[in-house]
Structure formats: structure tokens, C-alpha cells
Amino acid sequence: MKVLVPVKRVIDYNVKARVKPDGSGVDLANVKMSMNPFGEIAVEEAVRLKEKGTISEIVVVSIGPTQAQETIRTALAMGADRGILIETDQTVEPLSVAKLLKAVVDEEKPDMAILGKQAIDDDANQTGQMLSALLDWPQGTFASELEVGEGKAKITREIDGGLQTLEVELPAVITTDLRLNEPRYASLPNIMKAKRKPIDMKKPEDYGINIEARLEQITVAEPPKREAGVIVETVADLVDKLKNEAGVI
């Protein structure tokens, strides 16, 4: 069984994002980049399935600039077998990402695709669902538990009311949530081994996919700073402020 794991290069989650002075986007100059945390969870889950003997090959794919090879190498050091980089300097929207991933699936013929539920830069939460629709595969989103066997996947997913358990036929698209696992740190020997694992370099044109943007970004701004709170003496004062100042009651 083969599994495809898409990963994305994003600003490291420990870094505070800065908006460009002209408001045209987020400043990426001299900023630490790393693998999207939800993508790390997807890689870890695929590696655990491989260690159990459930799957035999993990193919990692990323879409982005040349530097995204580092993100793929991180996944290879965690235990993935090989990588594919679809190289582009353009910002690729979720629908274009899904179309590119479908093309990779058509070429690689995996039995399952495991990807993060969303990227922490655009927070779109769309790619997995769009990929499922394009492939006409069943989907299990926001997985907090995953069991795979006998041509089926059992997914426990987090919903507003609690937990929901689904069973889907493979091939399927699975998107990962935070509580699925705790990603491992790659050991030094595995980091060295990852340097020898293959990464295929591709372009969007190789798949015949147009990645031209369909959305226009008007402006980017930081959220307003929180104002200091006040201490009220009585419940009546609290109600008065909530009604007449905050306007919430």
C-alpha cells in the first residue's frame, strides 16, 4: 500500500508574522520557515502506519519555491521514502493545489492521501475536501484517530458536538487534526540518510495545470491591539458597561 502525504512550507509557528508596510502581504524576508504543523502530523501518522506494516511506501509532495526541498527533506528524515517538489514561486490557491495533487495521484496511484486539515498561513481548510471531490474519493476530515486495514479506514473525527466515527473504503483522503499524534524529532542518522533519498523536481506545466490566481487580495493588516480591561465595583456597573459601552447586551 502506498500513501501520498502533501506538506507545505510556511512561516515557523513560533515566529510572529509581520505585515509589509504597504499592506500587500506578510513579510517573509529573513523569516524562519518550516513544515506546516498539521503536515508534520500527517507525515508522522504515515510513518507510524509504515512501522506497523500497514503501508509500504510514503511519497511526500510539496508545491512551492526551491527552498521547499528543505521541508521535504524534513519529512524524509522522519521516515518518508521519497519526495516530489512541484516548483513555483507563485502563491498557489487551494483549488490549484488540489488539481496539482490530483495529477500526482493519477501518476503515482496511491491507496490513500493523508494531509493536514489546514495550513497555518492562510488557514483555508479547503485542499483536502477539494482533492476528495476531484478524485471522487471518500474523505475523513479532522481525524483525531485513524485505523487502516482490510481495504478500509476508520476515522474518529472531532466535531462541535464531540467525536464522530466514520468508516470509508480505500482509496480515501484523510485530513489530520492536532490530537492525532505527536510528531517525532528526526534523529541525526535519519537526517543524514534523508540527504540520499530522491526528490523529483517538477513544474506545474508538467501536469498541464494552470495555477493562475482566481482571488484578489485587497489588503493585509494586523489585528487591532487589545485594550486594557477595567475593574468594576458592582454587578450593576458591569451590566451598564456591557450594555452601553460594549454593546453586547
Asked whether residue 156 is assigned to any structural domain, the reply reads yes
How many domains in the chain?
1
Provide the domain limits for residue 128.
2-224
Asked whether residue 21 is assigned to any structural domain, the reply reads yes
Asked whether residue 114 is assigned to any structural domain, the reply reads yes
Burial of 190 (0-12, 13-18, 19+ CB in 10 A): middle
pLDDT value of position 30 = 87
Compute the distance between CA of residue 11 and CA of residue 91 in angstroms, rounded to an integer.
14
Asked whether residue 242 is assigned to any structural domain, the reply reads no
Residue 153, domain CATH: 3.40.50.620
Q: What is the pLDDT of residues 21-76, one digit of tens each?
A: 888 888 888 899 999 999 999 999 999 999 999 999 999 999 999 999 999 999 99
pLDDT value of position 104 = 97
Asked whether residue 231 is assigned to any structural domain, the reply reads no
Asked whether residue 188 is assigned to any structural domain, the reply reads yes
Asked whether residue 236 is assigned to any structural domain, the reply reads no
pLDDT value of position 248 = 83
Asked whether residue 28 is assigned to any structural domain, the reply reads yes
Residues of the chain with pLDDT under 70: none
